[in-house]
Amino acid sequence: KNEVEQSPQNLTAQEGEFITINCSYSVGISALHWLQQHPGGGIVSLFMLSSGKKKHGRLIATINIQEKHSSLHITASHPRDSAVYICAGSNYGGSQGNLIFGKGTKLSVKP
Amino acid sequence: SQTIHQWPATLVQPVGSPLSLECTVEGTSNPNLYWYRQAAGRGLQLLFYSVGIGQISSEVPQNLSASRPQDRQFILSSKKLLLSDSGFYLCAWSAGQATNEKLFFGSGTQLSVL
């Protein structure tokens, strides 16, 4: 069964802390998405990566295809980073748009 | 720049009533379009996707349907809503296959079926 597992499910941090959210998947995935869902429900795509590392501002995403693992890092965290972070993988042969979604990591950054 | 509009933002409907959610994309041509649902406490689930006008693929059997009457318009419908249709519905688009391209999401519709 294709699965995407995220950890931790919930994460509370103090402002300024370095944060890591992990994503592991059970089968080979050709690409992995990191999404951010704010309390209002809107979702923003942060990264889509198939190898290596990508950086945007204070956010860094890495992926190791061989180890079937990806991480999302947030440096110098801020209360506005509070959101649910979702990873989603697309596996070889999967139909378009049918990403396999993790259940999300709820991050709360306290001032 | 590209934008995606989805409406309404919230909707409360009685069981057995019809449904129509609309999504439009601006600033791009021939996008891939998607409808996702997020049930309470669960992950996102793909309902439908479309690679072109009139082309709809369904991923999950249900009493919902989708249509794409124009290149940048995607509609989610139901003739008779069920309680289990409650959830958060998201429209999204990508320039190509979502397996290789970033997804851009609408703001979502919170549907409560009572």
Nearest 5°: phi and psi at B105? -105, 150
Q: Is B54 on the interface with A (CB under 8 A)?
A: no
Residues A17-65: pLDDT tens digits? 999 999 998 776 778 899 999 887 889 999 988 889 999 999 999 999 8
Give the mean model confidence (pLDDT) for residues B6-16. Answer: 95
- Residue A87 CA to residue A101 CA, distance in Å, equals 6
**Which residues, 6+ apart, have CB-to-CB distance to A21 below 8 Å?**
A6, A7, A8, A11, A71, A72, A73, A85, A87, A105, A107
Question: Structure tokens of B22?
Answer: 């609309």
Which pLDDT does position B61 carry in this prediction? 67
Residue A49 with chain B: CB contacts under 8 Å: none
Asked whether residue A1 carries a pLDDT value surpassing 70, the answer given is no
List, as one string, the DSSP characters of A21-53: EEEEESS-EEEEEEEEE-TT--EEEEEEESSEE
Q: What are phi and psi of B84, to 5 degrees?
A: -70, -5
User: How much is the pLDDT for A95?
Assistant: 54
Quick: pLDDT tens for A82-98. 999 999 987 655 555 66
Which residues fall within 8 angstroms of residue A74, CB to CB, at 6 or more apart?
A: A18, A19, A58, A59, A60, A81, A107
Q: In chain B, at which residue ranges do the beta strands (DSSP E only) sit?
A: 3-7, 10-13, 19-26, 32-38, 44-52, 55-58, 64-70, 73-78, 87-94, 104-105, 109-113
Closest CA to A20 of A70, A91, A80, A89: A70
Interchain CB distance below 8 Å, A97 and B105: no
Considering only the beta carbons, identify the residue of A41, A44, A90 that sits closest to B99.
A90
Q: What average pLDDT does the segment A64-93 reach?
A: 90
| Mean pLDDT within B82-109 | 86
Mean pLDDT along residues B65-73: 96
Angle at CA A23, nearest 5°, toward A21 and B95? 105
**For position A94, what pLDDT does the model report?**
53
Of chain B, the percentage scoring pLDDT greater than 90 comes to: 68
Which of B32, B98, B108 comes nearest A90 by C-beta?
B98
Does the pLDDT of residue B70 top 60, yes or no?
yes
Residue A93: the pLDDT is: 53
